[in-house]
Amino acid sequence: MKLFLSEGSPGALKVLAAAEATGAPAELKWVPQEAHVVPFLTRSQLPALHLEKESFLFSTNTICQYFFRLSGKEIRDLGQDESNFSNQLFEWDATELEPALSAALHLHLVHGKKGEEVLEIIQKPLNYIDQTLVKRGTPYLTGNAESAVDVVLWGALFPLLRDESFLPDELKALRRWFQNMNQKEYCKKAVESVWTPKGLLELKAYLQKHPAPNQAFEKPATNELKEEESAQRSLSEEEIAAIAEVWVRGPAGLPKPWKPQQPILPVEGMKNVLITSALPYVNNVPHLGNIIGCVLSADTFARYCRLRNWNTLYLCGTDEYGTATETKAMEEGLTPQQICDKYYTVHAQIYQWFKISFDYFGRTTTPHQTKIAQDIFQKLLERNYLLTETVDQLKCENCARFLADRFVEGICPFCNYEEARGDQCDKCGKLINATELKKPVCKVCQATPVVRSSQHLFLDLPKLEESLEKWLSASQSTGDWTPNARYISRSWIRDGLKPRCITRDLKWGTPVPLDDFRDKVFYVWFDAPIGYLSIAANYTDQWEKWWKNPEQVQLYNFMAKDNVPFHSVVFPCSLLGTGDRYTLVNHLIATEYLNYEDGKFSKSRGVGVFGDMAKDTGIPADIWRFYLLYLRPESQDSAFSWNDLMLKNNSELLNTLGNFINRAGSFVCKFFGGHVPTMELSQDDKSLLVHITLELRQYNQLLEKVKIRDALRSILNIARLGNQYLQVNEPWKRIKGSEADKKQASTVIGVAVNIASLLSVILQPYMPSVSAAIQEQLCIPADYNVVTNDFVCTLPAGHQIGTVTPLFQKLETEQIENLRKRFGGGQFEDFPLNLKQKVVKGEQAVGTKELQEEVAKQDNYVQQLKAQNAEKKQVDAAVSKLAELQKQLNLAEGKAKKRK
């Protein structure tokens, strides 16, 4: 194999060090920056590793991982947990560290900047590495020996941290690790080869040729005001007076809430916001990670948009076609349509309980879906953007069917996960062709499939690449795309687009309207995003005013990161290829993954909270909403924790937010007969108004950029300011003092209850039921549910409030421990050891109850096959599997009786 390097390429240091560290048998080839090594890419891409024939690797991180895996070093040294954490760090490097370093290097090497101006950009990533090393207590990032991720991060950091002025003294763990890596012989050799005077000039030239990164985008959003930006220093006396004047003037200056006509359509001259959240598969009950990844995040933003009087339409629905539905139908002994009807209702009920405010929640199994999808297909066909190719596929001869996507399972060729699907690995997230799986099995009968050929249609993505790049560049430069969405979409183009198959050998799907392909349906990832359009068409026959109106409509897509390629590349190419002026995504908001405690959610193992279970915990929906949004995985994976849920409920909600609102309202009732008292603002009171106003503006700035989690901190900061204001002024004491003290108590209580009023409005996107409860208790007029940049007195002196009661209840340790046990899965000793299911760390096989359910499902499937007059060998295989399950059930029940 040959490793092509350029002295000016930022990735050269990484791959050369990795090659030296592992003794990779790669022949080094030094070529100019502009050398076009990879033939199927449209531009130069270096470093590149030529493996054999036309096989190349050209992601620096992938090349480094390949060298370590080739040597066997990483597999030998890393356990499963370390391997998982290593993969997380590779993702973090690509989405967080590299963009920040690129901006910092550009500023340092091209513009000659030093000191704080550069350090500010990379401070947060450096802190993260330091904290990781401290937390894990190891000399290297994944343990006691260096791994590929150590080499990758060292190679990324070296060009900047070689100047130790950018390595703060307080980051001791980072400093030790970096200096230790510098002493490695393979790192020294890489530096000697790459970091030459010529190499430095080449790197500078490389940076000059590439656009400077958007530093404003790379900087993390923060709620913390620097000292020089504090209220007193950033605002003049005139500005402070103006804030107080606006507050005193009251709600007269507030706009009335916008009430759109039905159906909601774009309005000329208004900000028209179209919001979609990724369509959930109908066959799965969504767990908490699914809910925060799309519908809850989108709902929070949609509610905020409505508070800003933006003309807003929020659409979603269930994704109902494809192999996922067919396999679920077989499992439950139902038809695909019956499965869709059953689980559509389940989804709708779950989202209703979580207070998700869809303007319309539809589904993809509709005539509009067929019409619109086939229309897009026909236009792509007419404009020569479709190809016909022969595809090798896995076919189960026992079931007499091609095994598309979820009908086949095997070992992932990338990360060796043992339950990867035939379209994508749930562990590493990589897309897979089913024939690439190692040890594939048919999910229906467990037989080993064979490779057979079939004709399929492909979307010619390379032909659309230029149009895509032009649109993508404009969208990302003007819109709010999350870092992972930017990186994933850029990496697809960087790696070179390839034709994408858009058909499948299935029956359950949108039919392909073309001779020789009428026995096929559209692949779900061509078909499903078109569901956004068909759901809009089911909502209104004027749907094109939203979807063919890019000049007037701003489109926001919400999803988890695994959906990004389809929304940023495949779906936009499908629409661009038609030649019609479709509304394409302006803002792509993608989360990382939410895990459950120390592992993953698993319905079959009873691990984790799923949407249909949350209401049975006795914890209100708004508490779930608050906690999920509080730990929303915006920049890296996060994990649900029962202890943390209890902590956040009892501290942030009960002690901070609820305590303040309850005290403010109770003081009005106790000392002023339920009427808001007279307020005469002192300079200290005006200072508080300034702090509240600045937090309100920060809240708006963050939510306008869809920084949902950070904006929640602004709400809590306002509640903290209110609590501090009450504590410092002690109105319960002053009300018993002199006339001056009574006046001050009156003002403090009046201002406090108005802060509570403000909180009720800005809390509404996060906790709509709590918001409504506060407004009912304080008798706040509905017309005040509007958010501006100004804090105004909405409850003037004399305003009558209602009965004030506590908003939140304390969660007790015993209650939380019971819930943890309930959602932690079954007990190991209850499981039959001969069941064909993996029992690995963090995973448990099913018990007696689950086996009974499996037997019932398999029996239904057998009856279904017989009713359909299926082939004898298919029926025999199903009967054989039923007998095996029954045998395991008998064994499990026998063991259970012995224990009793």
Residues 6+ apart with CB under 8 A from 259: none
DSSP 8-state code for residue 168: -
> 3-state DSSP call for residue 284?
coil
Q: What separation in angstroms does the CA of 118 have from each of 8, 109, 122, 544, 627?
A: 21, 10, 7, 47, 35
Backbone φ and ψ for 455, nearest 5 degrees, come out as: -85, 135
With CA atoms as reference, report the closest residue to 716 among 689, 698, 732. 698
Quick one: tokens of 115?
């000191």
> 3-state DSSP call for residue 264?
coil
For 263-391+458-591, CATH number out of 1.10.3720.10, 3.30.750.24, 3.40.190.10, 3.40.50.620 equals 3.40.50.620
Cβ(475)–Cβ(469) below 8 Å? no
Side chain identity, residue 102: S
H-type alpha helices, 590-658:
611-614, 621-630, 642-648
The angle that helices 148-161 and 12-22 make with each other, rounded to 10 degrees, is 140
Q: How many CB atoms are located within 10 Å of the residue 741 CB?
A: 16
82-92 per-position pLDDT tens digit: 766 777 788 78
Q: What separation in angstroms does the CA of 127 have from each of 137, 178, 566, 685?
A: 15, 13, 33, 37
> 3-state DSSP call for residue 287?
strand
- Which residues partner with 29 through β-bridges? 4
Quick one: tokens of 154?
């060292």
**Alpha carbons within 13 A on the beta-carbon side of 778:** 35
Q: Assign a CATH topology to domain 846-893.
A: Helix Hairpins (1.10.287)
Cβ(614)–Cβ(288) below 8 Å? yes
> 3-state DSSP call for residue 631?
coil
By CB neighbour count within 10 A (0-12 exposed, 13-18 middle, 19+ buried), where does 812 fall? exposed
Cβ(495)–Cβ(329) below 8 Å? no
Ramachandran sector of residue 774 (left: φ over 0; alpha: ψ -120 to 50; beta: rest): alpha
Q: Are strands 408-411 and 401-402 parallel, antiparallel or unpaired?
A: unpaired
DSSP 8-state code for residue 561: G
By CB neighbour count within 10 A (0-12 exposed, 13-18 middle, 19+ buried), where does 895 fall? middle
DSSP 8-state code for residue 320: -
Q: Whats the size of the chain, residue-wise? A: 900
Q: What CATH number was assigned to the domain covering residues 2-209?
A: 1.20.1050.10
> 3-state DSSP call for residue 511?
strand
Report pTM. Answer: 0.69
With CA atoms as reference, report the closest residue to 483 among 682, 219, 730. 219
Handedness of CA 102, 104, 105, 110 (dihedral sign): positive
Q: What's CA 86's distance to the chain center, in Å?
A: 19
What residue has token string 């192999």? Answer: 323
pLDDT score recorded for residue 710: 94
Side chain identity, residue 301: F
Backbone φ and ψ for 556, nearest 5 degrees, come out as: -110, 125
What residue has token string 């000016």? Answer: 8
Q: What's CA 534's distance to the chain center, in Å?
A: 24
Question: What CA–CA distance (Å, rounded) separates 871 from 855?
Answer: 21
DSSP 8-state code for residue 270: S
Question: What CA–CA distance (Å, rounded) separates 741 from 546?
Answer: 58
Handedness of CA 538, 540, 544, 550 (dihedral sign): negative
Question: What CA–CA distance (Å, rounded) separates 896 from 494?
Answer: 57
Per-domain residue ranges of the chain: 2-209, 263-391+458-591, 655-800, 846-893
Question: What CA–CA distance (Å, rounded) separates 436 from 402?
Answer: 15
What residue has token string 């890596």? Answer: 181
What residue has token string 């009300």? Answer: 735
Cβ(888)–Cβ(851) below 8 Å? yes
Side chain identity, residue 159: P
Distance between start and end Cα atoms, the chain: 63
What residue has token string 């202890």? Answer: 643
Q: pLDDT below 50 — which residues of the chain?
A: 211-233, 826-846, 900
What residue has token string 């767990």? Answer: 287
Q: How many CB atoms are located within 10 Å of the residue 49 CB?
A: 26
**Alpha carbons within 13 A on the beta-carbon side of 626:** 28
**Alpha carbons within 13 A on the beta-carbon side of 274:** 25
With CA atoms as reference, report the closest residue to 664 among 764, 799, 767. 799
> Which H/E stretch holds residue 504?
strand 503-504
pLDDT score recorded for residue 637: 87
Cβ(560)–Cβ(589) below 8 Å? no
Q: What separation in angstroms does the CA of 383 have from each of 376, 577, 578?
A: 11, 7, 7
Q: What separation in angstroms does the CA of 205 have from each of 29, 106, 584?
A: 20, 11, 35
Q: Are strands 408-411 and 420-421 parallel, antiparallel or unpaired?
A: antiparallel
Backbone φ and ψ for 49, nearest 5 degrees, come out as: -115, 115
pLDDT score recorded for residue 874: 62
pLDDT score recorded for residue 81: 62
The angle that helices 739-762 and 683-704 make with each other, rounded to 10 degrees, is 0
Q: DSSP letters of 105-135?
A: HIIIIIT---THHHHHHHHHHHHHHHHHHHH
Quick one: tokens of 6?
């350029």
Cβ(119)–Cβ(166) below 8 Å? yes
Question: What CA–CA distance (Å, rounded) separates 580 from 896?
Answer: 65
**Alpha-carbon dihedral 543, 549, 554, 556, rounded to 10 degrees:** 50
Quick one: tokens of 355?
């207070």
What residue has token string 């179209």? Answer: 274
With CA atoms as reference, report the closest residue to 476 among 723, 235, 218, 660. 218
- Which residues partner with 607 through β-bridges? 602, 824
Q: What separation in angstroms does the CA of 602 have from each of 329, 561, 627, 724, 843?
A: 19, 19, 20, 43, 9
**Alpha-carbon dihedral 152, 154, 158, 161, rounded to 10 degrees:** 140
Class of domain 655-800: mainly alpha
Side chain identity, residue 346: V
Q: How many CB atoms are located within 10 Å of the residue 53 CB?
A: 6
pLDDT score recorded for residue 215: 42
